[in-house]
Amino acid sequence: MNAHTVVNPILPGCHPDPSICRVGDDYYLVTSTFEYLPGLPVHHSRDLRSWRVVGHATPSVDLSEVRSSGGLYAPTIRFHDGRFYVVCTVVQEPGATGRSGNYVVTATDPAGPWSEPVWLTGAEGGFDPSLLFDDDGRAWYCGTRPAPAPQFEGHTEVWLRELDLDALALVGPEHVLWEGAVRGAVWAEGPHVYRIGDWYYLLSAEGGTAEHHAIVVARSDSVTGPYVGDRANPVLTHRHLGRAYPLYAVGHADLVELQDGSWYAVLLAVRHGAALGRETHLVPVTWEDGWPVFASGVGLVTAEVPAPALPEHPWDDPRALVDTFEAPEVDPRWDAVRARPSEVSRLEPGALVLPLRAETLHDRATPAFVGRRLEHVAADVDLVVDVVPRPGELAGLALRLSDDDHLALVVALDDEGRRGVRALRTCRGERSTHGWLAVEDGPVLLRAAVRGRAVAFSAGAPGAAPQDVAAFDDDTLDPLPSVHFTGTWVGAYGTSDGRPTSTELRVLRYEVHPA
């Protein structure tokens, strides 16, 4: 890494809707996690280059019935008077047992423990919440909600209300601050309000979270408005560059001031042709005539940006690309679907064990799946597993974009009871089976060679060259944000396909080889 630059994305893989705060020399960042738990990972950095997960700001929320790309939306993290605050939205389908709405959790240590959620009465029906702690000691909550008298589809408004910090309750009147910079702009969302000098600044996104995403800014001399937009709006977007540009969907930013008074912003963007989803990027911010200028002189999110004036502080993380499950606890980057990893697996010395479940990856349920974000455009992902399946059972490696879109390479039995490996594809809900490779008893190496959205599966004995099973070069893992808010997770999966079972999948090694 060049000592004078920071490589984008700073958080590769599905890390959308980033929010950041600084506490002294430390930076903390959270992102959306939707149906995945433990959810809302709290990332820590001291140089804005190298990040590690120190905890999860996720309370006890019921996500057991959320749809794909439902669940935990757009958190904001702030620090005030010795305490961290995270506000977040939970999106559930009508009739679900779990609660929807906006809540706040607090902690004195970002690693936790975090408090149980305090649900904010008066914020129902809204999303993308944020907090401002003003210089006078007052606190303010802002968020987005559908306009009560919409003039067009996707017409939203940004609103603000005071937050009583003792009761953690919204008090006083509401104030509508913003409906978008462009007339008819859809989905004015992702708002943050800041007190900077004599001005209050409102940073927001609009245009939808796909290729027309954009960042806009307004300011006021009063926190409650009125707000006047910057004549330079949108202050950052890639929507004018066309769909062939390598990076699109730039938006949903949050500002942070460094120790030396310089400024940066974190934001989301999508790498074209990859299966990764919306990732967290970094851009420098300067100020001209009282307005923020994003990526001055360039006006784009670039692959490298000037490094901040901070000492390099890389974290020593030997498990970044290899996990042999020898640690006393599961790596905090492992997730499960609609449940925590501890609810569908257990850690033993040298193995992560998944009891097979009746649920499958295409059920809106909690399957036996534990995965990590796919973080590389091109990589070989290896999983060494050991399983003795019964007839009809499947267990192995899976790449999951959603309930309706996923690929798997599984150990199974053929019609004559012989053990082998086959590939499974589910695209837009349509399922199919591909290939077959006989394998001996004992551990099996399963490999997914990912090249953009193309995936080639191979398998064999550990230590030997794997043999081809099947390949897919289509849109199964296409994370176009207008369809999927998530990216691809890759990990271990096992199902008895509706039958009772005592079969267990033992995962012995996870390894990523960037290509």
Per domain, the residue ranges of the chain are 5-306, 322-514
Buried b (16+ CB within 10 A) or exposed e, 128-163: bbbbbbeeeeebbbbbbbebeeeeeebbbbbbbbbb
Question: For 419-436, what is each residue's pLDDT tens digit?
Answer: 999 999 999 999 999 999
Question: For 221-277, what is each residue's pLDDT tens digit?
Answer: 999 999 999 999 999 999 999 988 999 999 999 999 999 999 999 999 999 999 999
Contact 37, 335 (CB under 8 A): yes
CA angle at residue 244 from 242 to 248, to 5 degrees?
65
For the 5-306 domain, the top CATH level (class) is mainly beta
Neighbours of 259 (CB within 10 A): 11
Position 315 scores a pLDDT of 77
| Nearest in space to 234 (alpha carbons), one of 305, 294, 145, 297 | 294
Active site residue 329: no
- Mean pLDDT across 404-430: 96
pLDDT at 283 over 80: yes
Quickly list DSSP for 405-447.
SEEEEEEEE-TTS-EEEEEEEEETTEEEEEEEEE--SS-EEEE
This prediction has a pTM of 0.97
Lowest mean pLDDT of 21-25, 112-116, 340-344, 480-484, name the range.
480-484
Distance CA 32, CA 41 (A): 9
Position 319 scores a pLDDT of 47
Higher-confidence position of 387 and 481: 387
Position 512 scores a pLDDT of 96
Neighbours of 321 (CB within 10 A): 15
Distance CA 87, CA 166 (A): 16
Neighbours of 71 (CB within 10 A): 26
Residue 320's pLDDT band (cuts 50, 70, 90): low
Contact 366, 343 (CB under 8 A): yes
Distance CA 459, CA 439 (A): 8
pLDDT at 368 over 90: yes
Position 160 scores a pLDDT of 98
Buried b (16+ CB within 10 A) or exposed e, 84-99: bbbbbbbbbeeebebe
Position 58 scores a pLDDT of 85
Position 105 scores a pLDDT of 97
CA angle at residue 124 from 42 to 162, to 5 degrees?
75
Q: Which of 35, 47, 157, 189 is catalytic?
A: 189
Q: Which of 17, 35, 382, 504 is catalytic?
A: 17
- The whole-chain average pLDDT of the chain stands at 96
CATH 3.20.20.20 is right for the domain spanning 322-514: no
Residue 173's Cβ-count burial label (10 Å; 0-12, 13-18, 19+) is exposed
Question: For 117-129, what is each residue's pLDDT tens digit?
Answer: 999 999 999 999 9
Position 316 scores a pLDDT of 67
Active site residue 26: no
pLDDT at 410 over 60: yes
Position 113 scores a pLDDT of 95
Question: For 462-473, what is each residue's pLDDT tens digit?
Answer: 999 999 999 999
Position 483 scores a pLDDT of 86
Higher-confidence position of 58 and 181: 181
Strand-pair partners of 143: 159
Residue 22's Cβ-count burial label (10 Å; 0-12, 13-18, 19+) is middle
* Whether residue 9 has a cis bond before it, omega within 30° of 0: yes
Question: For 128-168, what is each residue's pLDDT tens digit?
Answer: 999 999 999 999 999 999 999 999 999 999 999 999 999 99
Question: For 189-213, what is each residue's pLDDT tens digit?
Answer: 999 999 999 999 999 999 999 999 9
Quickly list DSSP for 365-384.
S--EEEEEE---SEEEEEEE
First to last CA, the chain: 17
pLDDT at 107 over 60: yes
Distance CA 386, CA 134 (A): 56
